[in-house]
Amino acid sequence: MVLWLTVLAYMITYMDRVVISSAVPSIQKEFGLDLTTMGLILGAFRWGYSIFQIPGGWLGDRIGPRRALALIVTWWSVFTSATALAWSGTTMAAFRFLFGMGEAGAFPIATRSLSRWMLPVERGYAQGITHAGSRLGAAFTPPIVVWLIANYGWRMPFYAFGTLGLSWAALWFFWYRDTPAEHRSVNSSELTLITESLGTPRKGASGPVPWGSILRSPTVWKLGAMYACYGWGLAIYLDWFPKYLSEVRHLDLKTMGLYASLPLFAATAGDLLGGWLSDELGKRGWSLKFARQFVAISGFLIAAAAIVPATLAENTETCVLLTCVAVFGLETTVGVSWAIPLDIGQDFAGTVSAVMNTCGNLVGAISTTALGFIVKAYGWDRPFLIAAALCVLAAILFSQIDASKQIAILEEKS
């Protein structure tokens, strides 16, 4: 139940953030916004999301994920709906920044929420399935948004998805508990199993965050650099692929909504496979280090190999098919990447994952904001080719990450 509630939260995060991608043509038409201005609006979310990653992760570690996640989901759901109230490009950018500020803590706090519930041999799968949920939510969203826009206008999807988030926040606060020992549904056998594997669970907060240990760890910074490479590609496909299909491939609204969903379904499969395979290799005797590395390095190389021909393909269907392969490869790395903060960070997995996600989303913010300028100067191919090169760099960086070595947090805490 803890896992599936977290999966649902991840679905809502991506549903809320990709609503605007499918609404871009309608928003541009109503407000008369050019591509560069739209890039600044889309980038506003990512800047808020990036800047508040570490404060969000700290909040989850400090007050516990039950209260922290309920609080931030309520915040971002309000500003999801508020996007529909914008009366200019400036106000829309402000609402998207505040929305991003709320969503910033989602993945770090959710990671922390699993840290005292998931056994080590379940972490890759757990992170894979949660991120698969986010991509699945994103995949279903464009057709829903297109239908709502066609029947009720572009504002209605923002109201609908904001309401969904508020409902989840109430359910989470009512049902979830920060440790298994606090939950009345956990029986003694389950509690013993968890305790023997993870040690005695703490209640709620974990005490002062040992920033020195975290920020001095070479593994944390390699993890962040790798995720920065990933962040560029993810932002391109989430924020701009529907617009690319509309402008470059000349698809109508209905076909664009369908084709924009297909890479996200491929992403869902990649998330599931990557997390499961990493854990399965560990169960079969592979070291944690090599199990994580094999999956992630393979995924990044598959993505790099598919992005280039997808970008250069003249046929639209070929482009979309190869894009599905590229995004599948890219996403096989995600469950592994997010399992590592649990592997090395323990009770401070929220803060470690926040540092990693900050790096990824700072580059994602640059990617989204800069795309309009890059396209004007060099054309649509350039942002995708940069993504391919960064995937190769990410594979090299992952070869230097050892998930079996915990950072020296426990010593500093004692």
Express each pLDDT in 19-77 by its tens digit. 887 788 788 888 888 888 888 888 888 888 888 888 887 788 788 888 999 999 999 99
The pLDDT tens digits for 379-413 are 899 999 999 999 999 999 999 998 888 776 544 44
Tokens at residue 72, please?
């931030």
pTM: 0.73
User: What is the rounded distance in angstroms from the CA atom of residue 52 to the CA atom of residue 396?
Assistant: 28
CA 332 vs. chain centroid, Å, equals 13
Q: What is the mean pLDDT of residues 79-98?
A: 91
Question: For residue 413, what pLDDT is reported?
Answer: 44
Between 127 and 74, the more confident residue is 74
Total residues found in the chain within this entry: 414
How many Cα atoms sit within 13 Å of 233 on the Cβ side? 33
Q: What percent of the chain has pLDDT over 90?
A: 30
Q: What is the mean pLDDT of residues 186-207?
A: 70
Alpha helices in 236-333 (DSSP H): 241-247, 253-283, 288-312, 316-332
Q: What is the mean pLDDT of residues 103-130?
A: 79
Q: Are 335 and 275 in contact (CB under 8 A)?
A: yes
In three-state secondary structure terms, 216 is coil
Question: Which CATH number fits the domain that encloses residue 235?
Answer: 1.20.1250.20
Q: Are 131 and 143 in contact (CB under 8 A)?
A: no
- Answer left, alpha or beta for residue 176, where phi above 0 means left and psi between -120 and 50 means alpha: beta
Can you give the residue range of the structural domain that contains 243?
2-413
Between 358 and 111, the more confident residue is 358
- Answer left, alpha or beta for residue 186, where phi above 0 means left and psi between -120 and 50 means alpha: beta
Between 47 and 226, the more confident residue is 226
Q: Confidence class of residue 204 from pLDDT cuts 50, 70 and 90?
A: very low
CA distances, 276 to each of 31, 126, 354 (Å): 45, 8, 23
Angle at 329 between CA 324 and CA 332, to 5 degrees: 120
User: What is the rounded distance in angstroms from the CA atom of residue 298 to the CA atom of residue 309?
Assistant: 18
Highest mean pLDDT among 16-30, 176-190, 226-240: 226-240
The pLDDT tens digits for 307-355 are 999 999 999 999 999 999 999 999 999 888 988 887 887 777 777 888 8
Question: For residue 200, what pLDDT is reported?
Answer: 62
Question: For residue 321, what pLDDT is reported?
Answer: 96
Give the total number of structural domains in the chain: 1
DSSP tag of 201: P
Tokens at residue 170, please?
């109430």
